[in-house]
Amino acid sequence: MKKKKIITVAIDSPAAAGAGTQAKLIAKHYKLFYLDTGKIYRYIGQLRLASKKKISYNLIKNKIKNLKVKVLSNKKLLTNDVALSAAIVARDKKIRQIVHKFQQMYAYNPPKKFYGSVLDGRDITSIQLKDAMFKFYITANIKVRALRRYEEYKRLKKQISYLEVLKSIKIRDKSDRTRKYGPLKKTRDSILINTTKLSKKACFKKIKAIMDRKLNN
Residue 215 lies in a domain: no
Residue 64 lies in a domain: yes
Report the DSSP beta bridge partners of residue 139: 194
- Span 68-106, pLDDT tens digits: 999 999 999 999 899 999 999 999 999 999 999 999 999
Residue 217 lies in a domain: no
Residue 93 lies in a domain: yes
Domain that holds residue 185: 7-209
Other Cβ atoms less than 10 A from the Cβ of 144: the count is 15
- Span 5-55, pLDDT tens digits: 799 999 999 999 999 999 999 999 999 999 999 999 999 999 999 997 889
Residue 1 lies in a domain: no
Examine the pLDDT at 176 and tell me if it is beyond 90.
yes
Residue 163 lies in a domain: yes
Q: Residue 79 — left, alpha, or beta (φ > 0 → left; ψ -120 to 50 → alpha)?
A: beta
**Amino acid identity, residue 166?**
L
Residue 125 lies in a domain: yes
Give one DSSP letter per residue of 76-113, joined into a string: GGGSHHHHHHHHHHTT-HHHHHHHHHHHHHHHHS--TT
Domain count, the chain: 1
Residue 214 lies in a domain: no
Report yes or no: 171 and 87 within 8 Å, Cβ to Cβ: yes
Examine the pLDDT at 152 and tell me if it is beyond 60.
yes
In the prediction, which pLDDT does 166 show? 97
Q: Of all helices (H) and strands (E), which one includes residue 197? A: none
CATH number at residue 172: 3.40.50.300
Report the DSSP beta bridge partners of residue 192: 137
Q: pTM of the entire structure?
A: 0.90
For the purposes of burial, counting CB atoms within 10 Å of the CB of 7, is it exposed (0-12), middle (13-18) or buried (19 or more)?
Answer: buried
For the purposes of burial, counting CB atoms within 10 Å of the CB of 13, is it exposed (0-12), middle (13-18) or buried (19 or more)?
Answer: buried
